[in-house]
Amino acid sequence: MPHIDEVRILRKRALAFQRRARESFNSGDYDLAAFLSEQAVQLHLKSILLEELGDYPRTHSISHLFSLISKIQKYEDLGRFFEERKRTFRLMEDSYISSRYLVREFTREEAEELLNAAEEVLKWRSM
Protein backbone atom coordinates (compact mmCIF):
# COMPACT_ATOMS: atom_id res chain seq x y z
CA MET A 1 0.00 0.00 0.00
CA PRO A 2 1.49 3.39 -0.92
CA HIS A 3 2.38 5.62 2.01
CA ILE A 4 -0.19 8.20 0.99
CA ASP A 5 -2.96 5.62 1.51
CA GLU A 6 -1.55 4.66 4.91
CA VAL A 7 -1.38 8.34 5.89
CA ARG A 8 -5.04 8.78 4.97
CA ILE A 9 -6.05 5.69 6.93
CA LEU A 10 -4.15 6.83 10.02
CA ARG A 11 -5.73 10.28 9.79
CA LYS A 12 -9.19 8.81 9.27
CA ARG A 13 -8.73 6.66 12.37
CA ALA A 14 -7.37 9.61 14.36
CA LEU A 15 -10.45 11.64 13.49
CA ALA A 16 -12.72 8.72 14.41
CA PHE A 17 -11.01 8.39 17.80
CA GLN A 18 -11.40 12.13 18.29
CA ARG A 19 -15.12 12.04 17.50
CA ARG A 20 -15.61 9.15 19.91
CA ALA A 21 -13.60 11.02 22.54
CA ARG A 22 -15.98 13.98 22.23
CA GLU A 23 -19.00 11.65 22.44
CA SER A 24 -17.56 9.92 25.52
CA PHE A 25 -16.84 13.26 27.15
CA ASN A 26 -20.36 14.50 26.45
CA SER A 27 -21.83 11.35 27.98
CA GLY A 28 -19.70 11.71 31.12
CA ASP A 29 -17.25 8.88 30.43
CA TYR A 30 -14.12 10.89 31.17
CA ASP A 31 -11.73 7.94 31.39
CA LEU A 32 -12.64 6.80 27.89
CA ALA A 33 -12.56 10.37 26.57
CA ALA A 34 -9.00 10.74 27.90
CA PHE A 35 -7.89 7.44 26.39
CA LEU A 36 -9.48 8.10 23.01
CA SER A 37 -7.91 11.58 22.88
CA GLU A 38 -4.52 9.96 23.40
CA GLN A 39 -5.19 7.45 20.62
CA ALA A 40 -6.22 10.25 18.25
CA VAL A 41 -3.02 12.20 18.92
CA GLN A 42 -0.81 9.13 18.68
CA LEU A 43 -2.20 8.13 15.28
CA HIS A 44 -2.12 11.66 13.94
CA LEU A 45 1.51 12.15 14.93
CA LYS A 46 2.38 8.83 13.31
CA SER A 47 0.61 9.95 10.13
CA ILE A 48 2.75 13.09 10.02
CA LEU A 49 5.95 11.08 10.46
CA LEU A 50 4.87 8.59 7.81
CA GLU A 51 4.06 11.37 5.37
CA GLU A 52 7.25 13.32 6.00
CA LEU A 53 9.79 10.54 6.65
CA GLY A 54 8.22 7.48 5.06
CA ASP A 55 7.99 5.62 8.38
CA TYR A 56 7.28 6.06 12.08
CA PRO A 57 8.54 4.31 15.20
CA ARG A 58 6.43 1.54 16.69
CA THR A 59 5.99 3.28 20.02
CA HIS A 60 3.13 4.54 22.14
CA SER A 61 5.14 7.46 23.51
CA ILE A 62 3.59 10.73 22.43
CA SER A 63 6.63 12.55 23.82
CA HIS A 64 8.93 10.56 21.55
CA LEU A 65 6.71 11.15 18.53
CA PHE A 66 6.61 14.89 19.24
CA SER A 67 10.41 14.97 19.61
CA LEU A 68 10.81 13.46 16.14
CA ILE A 69 8.24 15.78 14.57
CA SER A 70 9.79 18.88 16.14
CA LYS A 71 12.92 18.20 14.05
CA ILE A 72 10.93 18.63 10.83
CA GLN A 73 11.18 22.29 9.92
CA LYS A 74 7.59 22.82 8.84
CA TYR A 75 6.38 21.26 12.11
CA GLU A 76 8.53 23.31 14.48
CA ASP A 77 5.37 25.09 15.70
CA LEU A 78 3.86 21.73 16.63
CA GLY A 79 7.02 20.97 18.60
CA ARG A 80 6.65 24.29 20.43
CA PHE A 81 2.98 23.50 21.08
CA PHE A 82 4.12 20.29 22.76
CA GLU A 83 6.75 22.10 24.84
CA GLU A 84 4.20 24.67 26.00
CA ARG A 85 1.77 21.93 27.03
CA LYS A 86 4.18 19.22 28.11
CA ARG A 87 2.24 18.57 31.34
CA THR A 88 -0.96 18.02 29.34
CA PHE A 89 0.71 15.52 27.04
CA ARG A 90 2.32 13.68 29.98
CA LEU A 91 -1.18 13.36 31.41
CA MET A 92 -2.30 12.09 28.01
CA GLU A 93 0.42 9.44 28.08
CA ASP A 94 -0.78 8.49 31.57
CA SER A 95 -4.28 7.93 30.16
CA TYR A 96 -2.88 5.29 27.82
CA ILE A 97 -0.97 3.50 30.58
CA SER A 98 -3.67 3.76 33.23
CA SER A 99 -6.38 2.48 30.90
CA ARG A 100 -4.54 -0.83 30.82
CA TYR A 101 -2.54 -1.19 34.00
CA LEU A 102 -3.69 1.19 36.74
CA VAL A 103 -6.79 2.04 38.67
CA ARG A 104 -7.16 5.74 38.00
CA GLU A 105 -10.13 7.89 37.14
CA PHE A 106 -9.93 11.05 35.08
CA THR A 107 -11.88 14.11 36.13
CA ARG A 108 -14.09 16.10 33.84
CA GLU A 109 -11.50 18.89 33.82
CA GLU A 110 -8.63 16.54 32.93
CA ALA A 111 -10.61 14.89 30.15
CA GLU A 112 -11.59 18.28 28.76
CA GLU A 113 -7.96 19.44 28.81
CA LEU A 114 -6.85 16.34 26.91
CA LEU A 115 -9.72 16.56 24.46
CA ASN A 116 -8.96 20.20 23.66
CA ALA A 117 -5.25 19.49 23.24
CA ALA A 118 -6.02 16.58 20.90
CA GLU A 119 -8.32 18.73 18.81
CA GLU A 120 -5.52 21.29 18.43
CA VAL A 121 -2.98 18.63 17.39
CA LEU A 122 -5.32 17.22 14.76
CA LYS A 123 -5.41 20.63 13.05
CA TRP A 124 -1.75 20.21 12.01
CA ARG A 125 -1.49 18.51 8.66
CA SER A 126 0.01 19.08 5.27
CA MET A 127 -2.36 16.96 3.16
- pLDDT tens string 65-81: 999 999 999 998 999 99
Does residue 126 lie within any of the structural domains? Answer: no
Entry pTM: 0.92
Tell me the CATH number at 59: 1.20.120.330
Decide if pLDDT at 5 tops 50: yes
Domain that holds residue 67: 3-121
- Residues whose CB falls within 8 Å of the CB of residue 41, separated by 6 or more in sequence, listed in order: 14, 62, 89, 92, 117, 118, 121, 122
Decide if pLDDT at 126 tops 90: no
The overall average pLDDT reported for the chain is 92
Does residue 32 lie within any of the structural domains? Answer: yes
The count of structural domains within the chain is 1
